[in-house]
A and B are shown apart, each in its own frame.
Chain A
Amino acid sequence: MKQFIIIILTCMMATSTAMAQKGLNINQLFDGRFKKATGATEIIVTGSKASEIGLDIYHSLSVTDDVQAELVESYVKKDGVKAVDKEVEYRNGQLYYGFYTLKPEKGCKRYIFFLNQNLARKSPKKVVTLIYMEGKASAEKIKKLIRK
């Protein structure tokens, strides 16, 4: 019986995580393809660790490959069109960073953050980072959280 309940709860959690990003283009990037990709780092945090900072889901992806980076940027731009609020900066015609606030779903605030560190002025790094966040945290809190 216990095992059955655990299975049901696990399925519910997996479904809710999948539902969170449903309808977004970046969802295609979180299908597990980067888990074993060289130069890519994917971090998924849910549960108590995430709730400590006011989030239900924290999903980040960092890629170093140019082709992958372009793909990430293109999906972010597509999703950015649907954002209810956005803060973006372009450098040399390329998206340097973007902080997008999406339409809330079931009372949950949703954010997409994109950063191309290759366009940094001080110490550029060949890394493109995408972070999807969902929870009750405000945009200001999220920005403080992900900015040094």
Chain B
Amino acid sequence: MKKTFFIIATMFAMAQVCNATNDTVTVIEQPSQVIITETPSGVKVNVLGSKEDDSAKYSYSVEHQANDKMTTSQDRDWELRFPFYKNDTRNHHWAIVMDGFYMGGGISHSWDNINNSFEIGLLNIAAISYDSHHGQGISLGVGIHHKSFSIKRPNMLMRDEATNIVSSSFYPNGVEEKNRTSNLNMWALQFPLLFRQKIYKSLALRVGGIMSWNYKAQVNNHYNIGKTEYNITQRGLKQNKITFDVMGGLTLRSIGIYCRYSPNEVFKKGYGPEIKNTWTLGGTIAF
């Protein structure tokens, strides 16, 4: 009985699909087998056997029309993607960024005659950055760095013209105590590799290592003797060209604070005082 109803329903449905003006109703009671074949071009129904005749056969087919609406069965799972979900992998991205103007002051206890240091720079003139959008990020870039060490009075730095060795000496006799300064200035191209981890909302932690190419170093001395002003610049220092620093900091939106540790010696062995282990604290402004 169930099968009979099924066949009637199928016929009725097919008649609907093909928009037949006259209904076609065929009743086969207790069929032994009903085969429905769906093809891209249409549907075919084969009925085998009936209550009265086991060898009875009935066949009916409907061709799809151009404007038919087809519903296809889906065998594979629906892999859902949330367009606005935070874990949406489409949000992961690489980018070229420019960020991290910084300025800070530091100390080094490695040499008694060092007063303090000051540094300024742009952490990344350009960097390739990956943001996971899970709160993590990584960047590798190139930036510029300038650092200046000031020397404690009454000492000043001098480079020996013959040996290129930088050493501490006293200001010449008769120098006015005011307006006398002696600085060691360094310039570098730096290559920071930084990791970022979001802590809370816009607050993030940044840590990483920085390799610096210290392409330029010079001693600048300034003093007055009487009414004569002296500005002495000495280049050709034997600085360590490649050094490594460690940096860490917190950023909140576009501003932040950082701490930078420079363990390497400024001068090559034997070419100057031992200036190393410098700690610097400062502020950053990201663009």
Q: Which residues of A contact B (CB under 8 A)?
A: 43, 45, 49, 53, 58, 60, 85, 87, 89, 96-97, 115, 117, 120-122, 129, 145-148
Contacts and interface: CB of A to CB of B under 8 A. Distances in A.
B85 interface: yes
Contacts of B74: 89, 97
Interface in B82-133: 82-85
B81 A148 contact: yes
Interface-central residue, A87, A129, A148, by most chain B CB under 10 Å: A148
Contacts of B81: 145-148
Interface string B67-80: 00101011011111
Contacts of B69: 85
B83 A146 contact: yes
Q: How large is the interface on B (under 10, 10 to 19, 20 to 34, 35 or more residues)?
A: 10 to 19
A140 to B, nearest CB: 14
A148 B80 contact: yes
A115 B82 contact: no
B77 to A, nearest CB: 4
Nearest to A45: B84
Q: Chain B binding site: helix, strand, loop or mixed by DSSP?
A: loop
Contact of A117 (B73, B80, B83): B80
B70 to A, nearest CB: 10
26 contacts: A43-B84, A43-B85, A49-B84, A53-B83, A58-B83, A58-B84, A60-B84, A85-B69, A89-B73, A96-B78, A97-B74, A97-B78, A115-B80, A117-B80, A120-B78, A121-B77, A122-B77, A129-B80, A145-B81, A145-B83, A146-B80, A147-B79, A147-B80, A148-B79, A148-B80, A148-B81
A61 to B, nearest CB: 11
A87 B71 contact: yes
A55 B80 CA distance: 18
Given A115-B78, A148-B80, 12 more contacts: A58-B84, A60-B84, A85-B69, A87-B71, A96-B78, A115-B80, A122-B77, A145-B81, A145-B83, A146-B83, A147-B79, A147-B80
Given A120-B77, A122-B77, A43 B82 contact: yes
A148 B88 CA distance: 11
A46 to B, nearest CB: 11
Contacts of A117: 80
Q: Which 5 A-B pairs have the closest CB atoms?
A: A148-B79, A120-B77, A148-B81, A45-B84, A97-B78
